[in-house]
Amino acid sequence: MFLNILLVLGGFYVLIKGADYLVNGSSSLARRLGVPALVVGLTVVAFGTSSPELFVNIIAAINGSTDIAIGNVLGSNLANILVILGVTTLIAPLKLKSSTIWKEIPFSLLAAILVLVLGADMFLEGSPQNLLGRIDGIVLIAFFLIFLVYTFGIRESGEQPRTKIEQMSLWKSILFILGGLVALILGGQFVVTGATAIALFFGISENLIGLTIVAVGTSLPELVSSIVAARKGHQDIAIGNVVGSNIFNIFFVLGMTSIITPLPFNAPNIVDAFAVVTATLLMFFLLFVGKRQTLHRMEGSIFLLMYVGFILFAIVRG
């Protein structure tokens, strides 16, 4: 049992370091090949912060641990809103731009609602089983491409990334990319193997493990990025990191996973997806309470208390 816990913790560490190496190597290589920093920020860096979720999901799907895959995405999105925003707003209030409130957050809400709609086959089509199939995965990827085009349009209108890209030699960049990919694959395998063993040992569902331990672990890059951004006064980056990650997780990560292996969408998954929708709506409405367009410590405390309540509910549910 102790070894399985170490396997999960070690897997998280390897995942985070792998994502870091992949982002640094890919960013450096892209700049060396003449790719604008704007494009690097929108593609490589965005992919890098969500790559732990992606690789954990791919390996879980290949291993047949579909409950871990779905729980990881829904749990990560819930943790992004309730934990990351909760902790970040305790450090510094977050003032959001109008475009984030009226465009990105509604897009994130659309992603959560779309998962509910695509997964409710029994209710909407009278099917014998709720399933996120390959067609559903293609639909999610299509929405991701639409969001990507929209994001490019925003950045081309004047907003530029603040991230400084370190320039490395060609071979060092390639080595970082290959090392990052290997670390992500190994880290993902460690996490899935250890989490599955822990679930079997305690007799609890893989969905609960994915929803809690795996989800929080794979959200660590977003947590660190948002805290650092908030402390440096980059409020738009702190909130944009959370909202963008939630959109990426559902449209791309869950879309790719369901294309690889159709994912059974059981009753607990529907409840969890509804919780993500509720958390997103709450985030939206709290922006109009008190000082408009700003999340304060009070809202952050509410988020954290809600997350504790949901985790207790999930544990009781099993």
Nearest alpha carbon to residue 269 among 59, 129, 147, 109: 129
The phi, psi pair for 234, rounded to 5°, reads -90, 75
Give the span between the Cα atoms of 54 and 117, in whole angstroms: 22
pLDDT attached to residue 159: 47
User: CA-based angle 270:201:18, to the nearest 5?
Assistant: 70
Give the span between the Cα atoms of 290 and 95, in whole angstroms: 12
Tens digits of per-residue pLDDT, 128-141?
A: 888 999 999 999 99
Tens digits of per-residue pLDDT, 228-245?
A: 777 777 666 677 778 888
pLDDT attached to residue 158: 46
pLDDT at residue 206 tops 70: yes
What percent of the chain clears pLDDT 70, i.e. is strictly above it? Answer: 85
pLDDT attached to residue 236: 66
| Rounded average pLDDT over 184-205 | 86
Question: Within the chain, how many helices (H) and strands (E) appear?
Answer: 17, 4
Give the span between the Cα atoms of 150 and 156, in whole angstroms: 10
| Rounded average pLDDT over 194-210 | 86
pLDDT at residue 161 tops 60: no
Confidence of residue 103 (pLDDT cuts 50, 70, 90): confident
pLDDT attached to residue 166: 64
Domain total for the chain?
Answer: 1
Report the relative pairing of strands 263-264 and 294-295 from DSSP bridges: unpaired
Full-model pTM: 0.83
Query: What six digits make up the tokens of 128?
Result: 């014998």
Give the span between the Cα atoms of 211 and 209, in whole angstroms: 5
Q: 294 has which bridge partners?
A: 95
pLDDT attached to residue 40: 57
pLDDT at residue 219 tops 50: yes
pLDDT attached to residue 160: 46
CATH at 278: 1.20.1420.30
Give the span between the Cα atoms of 108 and 103, in whole angstroms: 9
24-38, 179-193, 216-230, range with greatest mean pLDDT: 179-193
| Rounded average pLDDT over 236-259 | 86
Tens digits of per-residue pLDDT, 28-76?
A: 777 777 665 545 554 565 666 678 888 899 998 888 888 899 999 999 9
Report which of residues 186 and 24 the model is more confident about.
186
Domain span holding position 238: 2-317
pLDDT at residue 163 tops 60: no
Average pLDDT over the chain reads: 83
Tens digits of per-residue pLDDT, 271-312?
A: 999 999 999 999 888 877 666 777 888 889 999 999 999 999
What is the Cα 142 distance to its own chain's centre?
A: 18
pLDDT attached to residue 44: 62
pLDDT at residue 249 tops 50: yes
Strand segments (E) across the chain: 94-95, 131-132, 263-264, 294-295
* Residue carrying the six token digits 């902790």: 87
Nearest alpha carbon to residue 58 among 307, 252, 201, 197: 252
